[in-house]
């Protein structure tokens, strides 16, 4: 269950907990014991733990959801299910914030808190408004703990198509997919490999700047990345993407800037600035198809600028993180060739 | 000879008992004063620096009176153990260990218990209000404790010895 990790900095073999073990630390003892008692084949597929007050405890697995019974076994009838209590919700809320909700004002406004290791906890409840904008959340009654995974090598099949091997540069790339298709995991591995260098492609590592607004990509804890993001990667943790991209441009001279889940007009405006500075961009966005991307005005502008050189559609057809399509940004058509076909056939291990 | 020795023991024991009771009266205002300034430090850490609770408690423990430090230090340790307990439970656990070794009395402890129930569960302005309320209540108790110390410290110091003497006179 735990993984043996060879740590190069102190030359010691350490035991690193599995992602599900990291998140169970923030669960109350009752739920912790139920989840820890589950068979390993279920735990390895665990993607989400959903807690809704007075409703059943639901686990989101890579192949569907299951309800959990009081005895710790999957249940079918709602009557047999473990019902999440108000006390459970209060406890988890306290534990995810280290009993310091006051230190998470900004996170509560955005509706999520990131745990050490990059696991994200979404929160719902009653919003408190001030001047028409969300000031904070109170009466928190719903939590969704999303388990962040690090899959080294996940991006390997894709890399030849987002690197220009003639001039050893990275192509501006947009990863898009519906939620829970492995965009962040894929982006993290792209960052890691570009930063470390890829001997198979004769690609020397480049300086990558990461604006990690939600602390998911690098999973920073007190500023130190907990996920492997590469030796030449600089991370701006918890910073707004629109500001962070310019900060990195001015201060760290990156060759590539990577950021997750762009969405606001400010993000797109900042991206334009980065393109004009000659720095390459790797980013992700929620959309199920190119047509959906086109329907969003800010994204439409970006598409019309023809600056994105590769669009990569991810999905779950074979497994989470399946590369469904690689689209050339100039022609807006799928890339041809046998290599691309082989890449699309690749079975991901996300 | 043996009688004289027994009389001396009784008088000394009475005196020591009196001094112990008097010490309780004299130490309580000292502890309350330290507690008030410790809570002031905690409020600063929480409201101005948004320092996470465990870290803030550690900072307070390092800077406060050594008699009070264990309360903050024990709570910090319990929170960092990730045993699944809340701030209230960790605070109560530490308070339970701290109480017998302190000079605080029931009403001081009940102020601290109600503060524990509010630690870490609201935004910084909420935390500030709870901490200020506790500080005000401690301030009121401090005034009472100072008056009480003035009245009782000398009284118990004499009463112990005199009590011992009375016992000696009765049984001699």
State residue A247's pLDDT score.
Answer: 94
Contact residues on chain B for A102, CB-CB shorter than 8 A: 46-47, 50, 120, 122-124, 126-127
Assigned token pair, A350:
């996300």
Residues A280 and A167: their CA atoms lie apart, in Å, by 13
Give buried/exposed letters for B117-148 (b at 16+ CB in 10 A, else e): ebbbbbbbeebbebbeebbebbeebbeebbeb
- Spatial separation of the C-alpha atoms in residues A8 and A11, rounded to whole Å: 5
Cβ–Cβ of A91/B86 closer than 8 Å? yes
* Whether A298 contacts A284, CB under 8 Å: no
Report the gap between the CA of A299 and the closest CA in chain B (Å). Answer: 36
Residue A99 touches chain B, beta carbons under 8 Å? yes
pLDDT at residue A7, as a whole number? 45
Q: Between helices A265-276 and A297-305, what is the axis angle to 10°?
A: 10
Environment class of residue A247 by beta-carbon count within 10 Å: exposed (0-12), middle (13-18) or buried (19+)?
middle
Q: Tell me which chain B residues have a C-beta less than 8 angstroms from the C-beta of A95.
A: 82, 84, 86
Mutate to test the interface with A, among B52, B76, B83 (most CBs of A within 10 A): B52
Q: Which residues contact A167 (CB under 8 A, 6 or more apart)?
A: none
Closest residue of B to A26, CA-based?
A: B84
Higher pLDDT pick, A178 / B82 = A178
**pLDDT, chain B, mean:** 91
Please answer whether residues B87 and A97 qualify as being in contact, where contact means their C-beta atoms are separated by less than 8 angstroms: no
Q: CA-CA distance, A200 to A264, in Å (whole number)?
A: 37
Point out which residues pair with A113 in neighbouring strands. Answer: A121
* B3 is a domain residue: no
Q: Is A123 on the interface with B (CB under 8 A)?
A: no
B5 within some domain: no
Least confident piece of the model among A7-16, A306-315, B74-83, B99-108: A7-16
In eight-state DSSP terms, residue B89 is: H
C-alpha B97/C-alpha B78 separation (Å) is: 12
Domain assignment of residue B46, yes or no: yes
Report, as ranges of residue numbers, the positions in chain A whose pLDDT lies below 50. 1-11
Q: Which two tokens stand for residue A305?
A: 């600028």
Q: Is the ipTM of this complex over 0.85?
A: no
Residue B1 lies in a domain: no
Grouping H, G, I as helix, E, B as strand and the rest as coil, residue B86 is coil
**B4 is a domain residue:** no
Mean pLDDT along residues B136-147: 94
Closest CA to A140 of A194, A115, A104: A104
pLDDT value at residue A349: 67
Number of separate domains in chain B? 1
pLDDT band at residue B132 using 50, 70 and 90 as cut-offs: very high
Size of interface A-B (CB pairs under 8 A): 61
**Whether the Cβ atoms of residue A279 and residue A246 lie closer than 8 Å to each other:** no
Residue B110: domain span: 10-171
- With contacts defined as CB-CB under 8 Å, which chain A residues touch B84? 25, 27-29, 32, 91, 95
Whether B52 sits inside 8 A of A98 (CB atoms) is yes
Check CB contact under 8 Å for A94 and B86.
yes
Among A28, A95, A102, beta carbon nearest to B123: A102
pLDDT for residue A5: 47
Whether B33 maps to a domain, the answer reads: yes
User: CB distance from A331 to chain B under 8 Å?
Assistant: no
Q: What residues in A contact B119, CB-CB < 8 Å?
A: 99
Q: How confident is the model at residue B18 (pLDDT cuts 50, 70, 90)?
A: confident
Ordered domains of chain A (ranges, CATH): 3-146 (no CATH), 159-345 (3.40.50.300)
Report how far residue A317's alpha carbon sits from residue B132's, in angstroms, rounded to the nearest whole number: 57
Q: Which residues in chain B touch residue A29, judged by CB atoms under 8 angstroms apart?
A: 84
Q: What is the SS3 string spanning chain A?
A: CCEEEEECCCCEEEEECCHHHHHHCCCCHHHHHHHHCCCHHHHCCEEEEEEECCCECEEEECCEEEEEECCCCEECCHHHECECCHHHHHHHHHHHCCCCHHHHHHHHHHCEEECCCCCEEEEEEEEEEECCEEEEEEEEEEEEEECCCCCCCCCCCCHHHHEECCCCEECCEEEEECCCCCHHHHHHHHHHHHHHCEHHHCECCCCEEEEECCCCCCCCECCECCCCCCCCEEEEECCCHHHHHHHHHHHCCCCEEEECCCCCHHHHHHHHHHHHCCCEEEEEEECCCHHHHHHCHHHHHHHHHCCCCEEEEEECCCCCCEEEEEEECCCCCECCCHHHHHHHHCCCCC
Judge whether residue B36 has pLDDT over 60. Answer: yes
Is residue B2 one of the residues assigned to a domain?
Answer: no
Residues of B in contact with A28 (CB under 8 A): 84
């Amino acid at each position: 269950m735990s993984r043996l990790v060879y740590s190069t900095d102190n030359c010691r073999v350490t035991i690193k907990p599995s992602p599900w073990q990291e998140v169970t630390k923030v669960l109350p003892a009752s739920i912790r014991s139920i989840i820890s008692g589950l068979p390993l084949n279920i735990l390895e597929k665990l993607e989400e733990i959903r807690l809704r007050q007075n409703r059943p405890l639901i686990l989101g697995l890579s192949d569907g959801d299951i309800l959990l019974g009081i005895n710790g076994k999957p249940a079918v009838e709602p009557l047999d299910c473990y019902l999440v209590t108000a006390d459970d919700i209060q406890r988890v809320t306290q534990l995810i914030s280290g009993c310091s909700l006051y230190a998470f004002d900004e996170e509560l406004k955005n509706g999520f808190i990131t745990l050490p290791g990059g696991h994200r906890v979404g929160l719902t409840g009653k919003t408190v408004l001030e001047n028409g904008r969300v000031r904070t959340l109170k009466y928190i009654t719903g939590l969704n703990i999303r388990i962040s995974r690090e899959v080294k090598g996940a991006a390997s099949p894709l890399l030849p198509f987002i690197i220009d091997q003639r001039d050893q540069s990275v192509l501006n790339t947009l990863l898009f997919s519906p939620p829970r298709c492995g965009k962040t995991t894929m982006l993290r591995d792209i960052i890691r490999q570009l930063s470390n260098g890829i001997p198979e492609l004769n690609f020397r590592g480049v300086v990558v700047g990461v604006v990690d607004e939600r602390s998911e990509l690098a999973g920073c804890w007190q500023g130190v990345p907990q996920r492997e993001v590469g030796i030449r990667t600089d991370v701006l943790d918890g910073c707004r993407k629109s500001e962070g991209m310019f900060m990195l441009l001015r201060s760290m001279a990156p060759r590539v800037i990577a950021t997750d889940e762009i969405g606001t007009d400010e993000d797109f405006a900042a991206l334009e600035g980065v393109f004009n500075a000659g720095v390459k961009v790797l980013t992700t966005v929620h959309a199920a198809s190119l047509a959906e991307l086109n329907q969003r005005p800010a994204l439409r502008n970006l598409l019309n600028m023809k600056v994105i050189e590769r669009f990569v559609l991810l999905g779950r057809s074979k497994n989470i993180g399946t590369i469904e399509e690689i689209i050339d940004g100039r022609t807006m058509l799928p890339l041809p060739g046998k290599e691309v076909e082989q890449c699309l056939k690749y079975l991901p291990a996300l | 000879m043996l009688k004289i020795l027994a009389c001396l023991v009784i008088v000394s024991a009475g005196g020591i008992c009196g001094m112990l009771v008097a010490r309780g009266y004299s130490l309580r205002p000292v502890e309350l004063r330290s507690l008030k300034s410790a809570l002031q430090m905690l409020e600063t850490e929480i409201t101005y620096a948004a320092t996470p609770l465990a870290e803030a408690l550690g900072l307070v423990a390092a800077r406060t009176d050594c008699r009070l430090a264990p309360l903050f230090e024990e709570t910090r340790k319990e929170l960092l153990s990730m045993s699944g307990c809340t701030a209230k439970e960790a605070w109560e656990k530490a308070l339970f260990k701290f109480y017998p070794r302190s000079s605080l009395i029931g009403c001081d402890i009940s102020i601290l218990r109600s503060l524990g129930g509010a630690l870490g569960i609201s935004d910084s302005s909420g935390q500030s209000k709870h901490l200020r309320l506790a500080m005000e209540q401690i301030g009121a108790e401090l005034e009472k404790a100072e008056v009480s110390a003035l009245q009782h410290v000398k009284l118990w110091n004499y009463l112990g010895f005199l009590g011992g003497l009375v016992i000696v006179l009765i049984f001699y």
